[in-house]
Amino acid sequence: MLHQRVTVIAGAPPGDEDGGSPFSELQGPPPTVDGGPVRVLTLLKINDIDVGDAAAVENHSLCTVSGWLHVEWSDPRVCRPSNARVTLGRAWRPDLRVLNSASEAAAPLIGDQTEALVLRHGWLLATVRVQCRVRVTKHDSGSHAVRLRLGSHLLTSEDVMFHPLDEAVDVTHLTGNDRFGARRTSLVADTFQARHFGGEFVTFSSIVATIVF
């Protein structure tokens, strides 16, 4: 079993590159709701992982990660239909940036695919940062609000929180590559502040999915 590592950051403000607002079907971007948090359901779908041995840089190998995001807001106080879903291509223009990229300036993800350096002895670590104007609630290990999809298999929070390293979870039939088997996954929800439109500081959500192969 290979042990590889790659870190990916996803998340960009809504854009208008397609000639229309990507939130047109949702009557505007997600609103801030007074009096409490709005749950944000995030699904990271990785549909392909490929490690190439030919392109090696300083004892690292290159890893190509392909996938997309599903983001879902669900709260009865939101003044639009709940459980509305948008893909990454419509909610945000793809802006996955690889921290340990082969290039000094990590290029944004184009066409839902990017290349990254992976450590031969490390983890495959996917970090997804989803920007929205509402605070993400902390989910305990029994919550199914945050889900991870690997290939065609959906992992709930219960699945991903209770797999110690010595109990490998074989996902070779899910990834389509017999070199990979997931050993541990975890999900962490957090918040951070950043400047948004108009220059003001806004609280965004940050959901981190860690996959150990």
Banded pLDDT at 182 (limits 50, 70, 90): very low
pLDDT > 50? residue 152: no
First and final C-alpha spacing in the chain: 8
Beta bridge partners of 42: 71
pLDDT > 50? residue 122: no
- Report pLDDT for 14: 31
- Report pLDDT for 137: 36
- Report pLDDT for 199: 58
Q: What is the mean pLDDT of residues 141-169?
A: 39
pLDDT > 50? residue 194: yes
- Report pLDDT for 183: 52
- Report pLDDT for 110: 34
The DSSP call for residue 121 is B
pLDDT > 50? residue 115: no
Banded pLDDT at 99 (limits 50, 70, 90): very low
- Encode pLDDT of 41-85 as tens digits: 333 344 444 444 433 433 344 444 444 333 344 444 443 333 333
**HSE of 56, CA atoms in CB hemisphere, 13 A:** 8
pLDDT > 50? residue 191: yes
List of residues 6+ apart from 174 with CB closer than 8 A: 150, 151, 152, 153
The DSSP call for residue 29 is S
- Distance between CA 132 and CA 30 in Å, rounded? 7
Banded pLDDT at 37 (limits 50, 70, 90): very low
- Report pLDDT for 192: 53
